[in-house]
Amino acid sequence: MRVRKMLFVMLAALVLISCGGTKQADVIKVGWFGALTGDQAVWGNNEYKTVQMLFEEMNAAGGIKVGDKTYKLEVIGYDNKGDAQEAVNVVRRLTSQDKVVAILGPNASGNAIPIAPILEAAKVPDIATVATNPKVTVLDGKVKPYNFRVCFIDPYQGAVAAGYAYDVLGARKAAVLYDVADDYSQGLREFFNQNFKAKGGQIVADESFKFGDVDFRPQLSKIKASNTDIIFMPYFFKEVALSANQARELGITQPMMGGDGWPSEQLISMGGAAVEGCYFVNHLDYEDPDVADYKARYKKKYGVDTELNGYLVHDAVLMLVEGLKIAGKVDGEALAKALEKVDFQGITGHVRIDPATHNPTGKDAAILKIINGQYVFQQKYAAK
């Protein structure tokens, strides 16, 4: 009895799964995926809400004009828990059943890399938000035709951080604490170390923790004894706040520096005095009027502050709209070609895609310093 019931349910499930949505003529379907649950959920929810908000705003303004027709935009978003295997599942679903014309996200490089073959088979382009691993768009020297991104990449960010620390802050000895189980952290650490050493600096401590750890004092005590000029912390704001607090507790007074995992309103509330006077590399300057406008709209609509991912997915949406206008038709293949030609002013800087790498070119990194609980813009800084 139960066996038969189960078989029936499974059959019904197969049928349900295999019938896709119906196609509407005047709507452009765009996919989004990322982590709505799991430990990356903060960033995923922020991206998804931003996309929803922007699409609503655009539709309320009459939609967008592609070719000589006006379309409304619709987002179909799926949760992948930040899991690579689920990323593959949802991209298969978005391309084969929902028949989206393009996909926005994900934020994690490890989720953006395995979806490339599916995108190529389905001819649907993807614009990743903060996936900074070079291998997201280029593999074995060849550019992946359907993978794009709006952010700068790890080697660049690592070079900026090392350059700024050495040239501007005058650090000669650096200690690094990184998350060994996280791809972003490991990538950034590698390129920081490489560039800092190339400039003539010395890495006096290279310590790691493992994702999920909440106590960093053993590593920090070691760093304290290393007599460093600066501490580089390439990981996300929650761990940054915890480790910064613990470092100050241990009597470490050196400035700390980080990457684009840092910026969040929560870093200030969690880190407080511990992160005062610290520096980080960012994609944008928060005092920029365009940035402030989006930030205020988001806060007004959802009652919480946006995270960094929101700004980048904002520009991914702009990039998509630009691409559609250039393509002149709603077609994944044409869109992928058009995305190589986009050239527009986003809130994170001017975006121009390099056809050889599918990375945005000429986006200078912004260096921000935390002063009195505010992110104070220091300068635009390009790695030399």
Partner 1 sequence: MDAYLEGILILSGINLIAVMGLCLLTGFAGLFSFGHAGFMAIGAYTAAIFTKMLGLPFVFGIAASAVSAAIVSWLIGMATLKLKGDYFCIATLGFGEAIRLILDNFQGLGGSRGWPGIPASSTLLNIVILDIIGVVLIANLVRSRHGRNMIAVREEELAAQVAGINTYKYKMLALVISAAYAGVAGALLGHYMTFIQPKMFSMVKSTELTIIVIFGGLGSISGSVIGAVVLTFLPELLRVVDKWRLVAYGMAVIAIMIGRPRGLMGGFELTPASFRKLFAERKAAREIKAASRLYSDDDSAQGAGR
Partner 2 sequence: MAQFLQQIVNGLSIGSVYALMAVGYSLVYSIMNFSNFAHGGVIMFGAYFGFFAMTLLKLPFLAAFALSFTGTALLALLIERIAYKPLRERRAPFLYFIISAMGASIFLENIVIATIGPTFRTYPKVFSRTAIALGSIAVGRLDLIMFFVSAISLALLVLFIEKTKMGKAIQASAYNMKAAALMGVNTDQIVMIVFILGGILAGIAGVFFGMKYTVYPQIGNITTKSFVAAVFGGLGSLPGAVLGSVLLGIIETMVAGYLSSQFRDLIAFVILIAVLVFRPSGIMGKISEEKA
Q: For residues 161-190, which are near partner 2 according to CB under 8 A? A: 180
Give min distance, CB of 79 to partner 1, in A: 6
Give min distance, CB of 309 to partner 1, in A: 17
DSSP state of 196: H
Q: For residues 6-45, which are near partner 2 according to CB under 8 A? A: 37, 39, 41-42, 45
Q: For residues 216-275, which are near partner 2 according to CB under 8 A? A: 217-219, 221-222, 224-225, 238, 241-242, 245, 248-251, 266, 269-270, 272, 274
d(CA 326, CA 66): 8
Give min distance, CB of 258 to partner 1, in A: 18
DSSP state of 159: H
> What is the Cα gyration radius of the chain?
22
AA identity, residue 124: V
Interface region with partner 1, contact rule CB under 8 A, candidates 111-119, 236-244, 262-270, 307-315:
111-119
d(CA 311, CA 314): 5
| 75 in contact with partner 1 (CB under 8 A) | no
Give min distance, CB of 202 to partner 2, in A: 19
**One residue of 23, 68, 140, 251 binding partner 1 per CB under 8 A:** 140
Binding partner at 214 among partner 2, partner 1, none, C-beta below 5 to 8 Å by kind: partner 2
CB atoms within 10 A of CB 376: 13
Interface region with partner 1, contact rule CB under 8 A, candidates 9-17, 236-244, 321-329, 362-370:
9-17
Q: Supply the DSSP string of 290-332, one letter for each residue.
A: HHHHHHHHHHHHHSS---HHHHHHHHHHHHHHHHHHHH-SS-H
d(CA 7, CA 186): 46
d(CA 226, CA 107): 34
**One residue of 52, 59, 97, 208 binding partner 2 per CB under 8 A:** 208
From residue 307 to residue 346, the character string flagging contacts with partner 2 as x (rule: CB under 8 A) and all else as - is: ----------------------------------------
Give min distance, CB of 181 to partner 1, in A: 5
| 260 in contact with partner 1 (CB under 8 A) | no
d(CA 366, CA 358): 21
| 181 in contact with partner 1 (CB under 8 A) | yes
Q: Name the strand (E) or helix (H) holding 334.
A: helix 332-339
d(CA 323, CA 321): 5
Give min distance, CB of 204 to partner 2, in A: 14
Contacts of 225 (CB under 8 A, 6+ apart): none
d(CA 337, CA 335): 5
Q: Are 217 and 241 in contact (CB under 8 A)?
A: no
| 95 in contact with partner 1 (CB under 8 A) | yes
d(CA 73, CA 29): 6
Find tokens 């019931």 and name the residue.
Answer: 5
**One residue of 59, 186, 245, 357 binding partner 1 per CB under 8 A:** 186
Q: How many residues bind partner 2 (CB under 8 A)?
A: 34
| 67 in contact with partner 1 (CB under 8 A) | no
Look up residue 352 and give its two tokens.
């121009």
**One residue of 8, 26, 57, 139 binding partner 1 per CB under 8 A:** 139
Bridge pairing between strands 279-282 and 365-371? antiparallel
Q: Are 39 and 83 in contact (CB under 8 A)?
A: no
Give min distance, CB of 5 to partner 1, in A: 11
d(CA 316, CA 28): 16
Q: Which residues sit at the interface with partner 2, rule CB under 8 A?
A: 37, 39, 41-42, 45, 180, 207-210, 212, 214-215, 217-219, 221-222, 224-225, 238, 241-242, 245, 248-251, 266, 269-270, 272, 274, 304
Q: Which residues sit at the interface with partner 1, rule CB under 8 A?
A: 1-3, 6, 10, 13-14, 16-18, 20, 36-37, 78-79, 81, 83-86, 88-90, 92-93, 95-97, 109-110, 113-114, 116-118, 121-122, 133, 135, 139-140, 180-183, 185-187, 210
